[in-house]
Structure formats: structure tokens, C-alpha cells
Amino acid sequence: MKKIITLFFLTGSVAVYAQPKTVTQAMITTKTTIIAPESDDANAPVNATTTSADGAEVRVMRFGGDGETKTTTWLKNDLTKTFSESEMGRTTLIRDNSKKITTTIMEMMGRKSGFYATDEDQAQMRKRMDSMMQSRGGQNVSIGGGSNTPATYSVVYVDESKKIAGYACKKALIIAARKERTDTTIVWYCPDFKLQHLASTGGSAGGFGGFNATSGPTGMELLNGFPMQYERNMNRGRRMTVEVTKLVIDKDVADKEFEIPKDIEIKAMKDMQNGGMGGPGMQIRIAGQ
């Protein structure tokens, strides 16, 4: 009898402290919806073309606008690929975590362009953008969206549950504390697993240039599981909802998913900065979120 009781308590202990398994291959389909308040300039064009003083073509891209973006993400060991499609165009990000390189392919306004950047290249680019924004008296806005002020994250687990895309999920609150404010993200996560190299999908992860791939912690990495749905406040009163609509983790992902198309010339990001990231004779300016 004593042996049976001991075994019972051991089993219970394992269940309480069990950690989610790490999944190394997966395909995830995610829907991101951003809703702007009625008072916002939602009717402003998503992108527009103007001419600078030196005669160069300047395209102003308005990121973070309201609307829906669908993304599909593939994971295989150290490789991830995210394909995003919205009214702005299409973006494909291929990330090699072992080599610390992100390749970005953009299809916008009938043009295709591609570039690759190391983590060091991206860090230097963010510093230049921050310096430029501050020198012009603009907001301290990151390319991936939101404030660049470092946040301290904490997680509060809530005793609620529901199913998302067929997976049993639990509720949590991710609290981001910054000097100027505190933000709370409502998250529904699956406690059974975490995805290697993917703290979350959707949101701004597939944003312009893939700069969010190495932009630092978001609080999602602290979750005891994988986020299947979350809601987050954005600048100018916007509200972003992200939901995983399909998740497959029991099938092998083909190597060909991570092959770079041969019909697009892929350049180093640092070689494209002088001519503009959209190609020769054209520059892209980013309208803040």
C-alpha cells in the first residue's frame, strides 16, 4: 500500500511541473487583424508616391494600418520561413538561425526585390533609424512597430481555457512595463509545446524587411507554451488581434520550402541602402505606426 501511495504522489508531481515539449518542425497559418478607431486617419492611402527635391521617386509606405494580414510560417530545425500577404503586397522572410542571416523578398506595387542581412546589419540599421528619428524630432519608433524603450515583462496566468484551431489553450496576461506606460497583452496559449526559434507568429513578425526577427524580447518567450491567440494595443488607439487558424506539427516539412527563388536577385542590405531599399532610383520612407 505504501508503494502505491508513493507512486501516486510522484505521478502527480510530474504532471504539475511538466514542461512543454519543443517542436522542431511545423506549419502555422495565422491571421492578424488591426482595427483603427473611427477618428484615425484610416482613409489615408496605404502607400503613395512623391518626388523628392533631387528628383528621386519616393514611396511612402504606411505600416500598421487597419486591415487583415494572413501569414504562413514553416519551421524546420534552424530554418524558418514566413510568407505574409496584405493589401500592401507580399513579403517572404527566410531565417537561418544557425548562420544568423535573414533573407527578405518583397513584392510591392508590381516590383520584386530581395536582400539579406546579418543580425549585426539589422542592429546597425535600427541604430541609424533611431538616430534619424530623434534628430528630426520624431517619435522613437522601431521598424517592427511600437516604442523602442526597453520593457520589463512579466506573465500572469489566468484560470480560463478554450480551444483554438483544435488545441486546448489556457489564458495568460503578458505585462510590459516601460518608463512611460504599462501595456497588457491578453494571450491564449497551448501548454503542450513550444516551437523552436518561434516565440509567436503573426503580428509584426512578418513586417517590413524582417527587422522584427532580431528586435529582442516581446514577453511571448516567457510563456509556458505556444501563443495561439493574442490581443495587443498599438499606437494611435489601434487594436491588433492575432489568431492561429491552422497548426500542423505531426508532419515533416520539405527542404524546398526554404529555397530562395532563382528569378529574384538577392543583394546584401548594406549594398542597397545608397540606392534605396526598393531598388535603384527609388527610396522607401516609413510612415510611423
Find all residues with CB under 8 Å of 257, minimum gap 6, and list them: 74, 76, 81
Distance CA 231, CA 186 (A): 5
In a domain, 269, yes or no: yes
With H, G, I as helix, E, B as strand and everything else as coil, classify residue 258. Answer: helix
Distance CA 273, CA 284 (A): 10
The total domain count for the chain is 1
In a domain, 51, yes or no: yes
Position 159 pLDDT exceeds 90: yes
Distance CA 195, CA 225 (A): 9
- Residue 8, judged by CB atoms within 10 A of its CB (0-12, 13-18, 19+), counts as exposed
Identify whether the C-beta of residue 238 lies closer than 8 Å to the C-beta of residue 40: yes
In a domain, 129, yes or no: yes
In a domain, 6, yes or no: no
| 248-286 pLDDT per residue, tens | 999 999 999 999 888 888 888 877 655 444 444 444 444
| 75-123 pLDDT per residue, tens | 999 999 999 988 778 899 999 999 999 999 988 877 888 999 998 888 8
Q: Facing residues of 174 across strands? A: 155, 185
pLDDT at residue 167, rounded to an integer: 97
In a domain, 18, yes or no: no
Query: Domain range for residue 120?
Result: 23-287
- Residue 31, judged by CB atoms within 10 A of its CB (0-12, 13-18, 19+), counts as middle
Cα dihedral angle (275, 276, 277, 279), rounded to 10 degrees? -60
- Residue 224, judged by CB atoms within 10 A of its CB (0-12, 13-18, 19+), counts as middle
| DSSP per-residue letters across 134-180 | HHTT---B-TTSSB-S--EEEEEEEEEEEEETTEEEEEEEEEEE-SS
Identify whether the C-beta of residue 69 lies closer than 8 Å to the C-beta of residue 204: no
pLDDT > 70 in the chain, percent: 68
In a domain, 9, yes or no: no
Report which of residues 182 and 125 the model is more confident about: 182
Distance CA 78, CA 82 (A): 14
In a domain, 12, yes or no: no
In a domain, 2, yes or no: no
Report which of residues 125 and 174 the model is more confident about: 174
Cell reading at 15: 504532471
| CATH assignment of the domain containing 260 | 2.50.20.10
Find all residues with CB under 8 Å of 239, minimum gap 6, and list them: 34, 35, 231, 232, 233
Report which of residues 18 and 169 the model is more confident about: 169
Cell reading at 143: 521598424
pLDDT at residue 181, rounded to an integer: 85
Amino acid residing at 152: T
